[in-house]
Amino acid sequence: MKVLTYKNSKFMDEHRFHLRKDQLEKAKRRTTDLLERIAKKKPEEEISPAFQDMLELGVLEAMKALEEARQDD
């Protein structure tokens, strides 16, 4: 199974939700880590690009929510 890394992901860059550059890099690392974990558990299955996009979006939304929670405190 080929696992993509997201150092230059156009999707992440377009949907960054106003995250700082360091937060965006952290989101990319987390997404890559999650995809690698999935690949280890199901090496015979291909991870679809749509699933990868949804995973990226979920990571970004979670990081945005964390940032907003920090600002509220």
Question: Of how many residues is the chain composed?
Answer: 73
Query: What is the per-residue burial (b if ≥16 Cβ within 10 Å, else e) of 4-31?
Result: eebeebeebeebbeebeeebbeebbebb
Instruction: Give the pTM.
Output: 0.52
Quick: pLDDT tens for 23-37.
777 877 888 888 888
pLDDT at 3: 44
Quick: pLDDT tens for 13-65.
555 555 667 777 787 788 888 888 888 887 777 778 888 878 888 887 887 77
Give the start-to-end residue ranges of the domains of the chain.
10-72
